[in-house]
Amino acid sequence: MPDPALFSHDPSTLPRATGLSDMLAGRLAAAIRSGEFGPGDRLPTEKRLVEQYGVSRAVVREAIARLKADGFVDTRQGAGAFVAAKPGLANFRIAQPEGGGRIASADLAHIFELRGIIEAGMAELAAKRRDTADLAALKTAFARMQQALLAGEDGAAADDSFHAAIATAAHNPYLAQFAAFLAQHFSATRALTWATSAHDDVSASAAQIEHARLLSAIEAGDAAEAARAAHDHILAAAERRGSAMKD
């Protein structure tokens, strides 16, 4: 087991704000990923972490619970927390807005990149496999977005429905399930398009033009064009939010 002295980060660098337990969990997860603590190693005691980071026992317990939920550690009653055999593989998590505000710019760029990969693949399959019901669902969602656009209203829910319909049209239950899981996180980036300020700077109008191209390609059964349209849509959305994806 590593010497606890190796885990000597300066507690003053730990921000004192809402989310202390998440921040502490992040520090511990980073130590595990770096190999400072290997599979089977025991983490510092609750008392040691309280002293080292100047946080309460409740914060430490919440941090350990988070690490356990994410598959980084196993806990043994009366013995403490131990690094799991395969740390971090029990769950998949995407960054959330900081303190209830905006998602960090670096994380947002990565989320858009992930969206581009996933949604281009879904669109390609949707163009090959869509049926009459799929097209009807896509057109309904598109019409709802168009109505919201013309009325200057929030069309984020319809936007979510449009992309969910593409996932359904791919006719791959595992892909649809994964897309549904990711949708709760992708929804935050789509909501940016329909914010009041977005209507003012024509972001929603531009996005709807991109949606129209995507719908047209899927309806025409043009898989290559559908994939390009989906990728271009995500690329443009990232650029509108100042989070251009890397080449």
* Confidence grade of residue 6 (pLDDT, cut at 50, 70, 90): very low
Q: What is the pLDDT of residues 30-62, one digit of tens each?
A: 889 888 999 999 999 999 999 998 999 999 999
User: Where is pLDDT greater, at 90 or 6?
Assistant: 90
Instruction: Report, as an integer, the average pLDDT of 200-218.
Output: 89
Average pLDDT for the chain: 82
* Confidence grade of residue 246 (pLDDT, cut at 50, 70, 90): low
* Confidence grade of residue 225 (pLDDT, cut at 50, 70, 90): very high
Share of the chain above pLDDT 90, in %: 44
For residue 145, the model assigns a pLDDT of 94
Would you say residue 99 has pLDDT above 50?
no
Lowest mean pLDDT across 10-19, 79-88, 168-177, 192-201 = 10-19
Q: How many C-beta atoms lie closer than 10 Å to residue 25's C-beta?
A: 24
> What are the C-alpha distances in Å from 38 to residues 35, 83, 151?
5, 6, 56
Would you say residue 13 has pLDDT above 60?
no
For residue 212, the model assigns a pLDDT of 98
* Confidence grade of residue 95 (pLDDT, cut at 50, 70, 90): low
Instruction: Report, as an integer, the average pLDDT of 188-205.
Output: 63
Q: Which residues pair with 82 in a beta bridge?
A: 42, 74
User: Where is pLDDT greater, at 13 or 158?
Assistant: 158
> What are the C-alpha distances in Å from 216 to residues 123, 173, 210, 211, 233?
11, 24, 10, 8, 13
Would you say residue 224 has pLDDT above 80?
yes
Share of the chain above pLDDT 70, in %: 76
For residue 87, the model assigns a pLDDT of 82
Q: Which helix (H) or strand (E) holds 201?
A: none
Would you say residue 188 has pLDDT above 80?
no
Alpha helices (H) along 54-172: 57-69, 105-129, 132-151, 156-169
